[in-house]
Amino acid sequence: MLALGLLMAASPFVLGKLSARILRRFKRLQAIAYAVEDVRQFNTLELLITILIWICVAAMLGCITAAMNLPLSLEQLFFLVAVQLGMQLFPIQGFANSGNHEGGWVAALIAIGYSTDVALKISLASHAIILLFVLFLGVVAFFMRFLRNRRQVS
């Protein structure tokens, strides 16, 4: 998982170098090459935000496991986050991100020692919790925007 994380972190640099050497040779792809080359460097704020996002993902997964009374240690939780990170690289996608989520949870839980049947049930339940939470946040955001626009009109 560390190797996959490092590969993801290095991908802007690798793509930048490849675009500078390969894509610039083709007239139609030069704009893409320059765009990739322009954004290949991270600044400190972007790196900090990326780390904070993964900390929040780990906290969210911790809350979900606590809500399901799933006894995972901190190490197991970080392992789950690492597997989820790796699963984001695979092009397995379904409705509401199904596939990546379940695959990551099932793979991690089986590696931890859960049976396949139990791991699948836990992954489906965790996805349902996340989906309901995201839908709830969407409704809250909609009403907050509605109220803000209503105040601006008044």
DSSP per-residue letters across 15-77: HHHHHHHTGGGSGGGHHHHHHHHHT-PPPHHHHHHHHHHHHHHHHHHHHHHHHTT----HHHH
Q: Cα separations (Å) of 47 from 42, 54, 86?
A: 7, 11, 19
Statement: residue 140 has pLDDT above 80: yes
Question: pLDDT for 15-28, tens place per residue?
Answer: 667 666 676 677 66
Average of pLDDT values for 34-51? 72
pLDDT at 97: 62
pLDDT of residue 113: 93
Does the pLDDT of residue 103 top 90, yes or no? no
At residue 99, what are phi and psi to the nearest 5 degrees?
115, -65
Tokens of 110: 């089986």
And the tokens for 4? 């996959």
pLDDT at 78: 84
- Residue 53's pLDDT is 83
| pLDDT greater at residue 100 or residue 39 | 100
Closest CA to 125 of 54, 63, 64: 64
pLDDT surpassing 80 at residue 143:
yes
Residue 39: pLDDT band with limits 50, 70, 90: low
- Which residues sit opposite 99 in a β-bridge? 93
What percent of the chain has a predicted confidence (pLDDT) above 70? 73
Q: What is the Cα–Cα distance from 19 to 15, expressed in whole angstroms?
A: 6
Measured CA to CA, the distance from residue 43 to residue 16 in angstroms comes to 15
> What does the pLDDT read at residue 32?
66
What tens digit of pLDDT does each residue of 52-82 get?
887 887 888 888 888 889 888 888 988 888 8
Amino acid identity of residue 126, one-letter, is S
Summarize the confidence of residues 94-116 as an average pLDDT. 83
The span from the CA of 86 to the CA of 84, in Å, is 5
Distance of CA 105 to the CA centre of its chain: 13
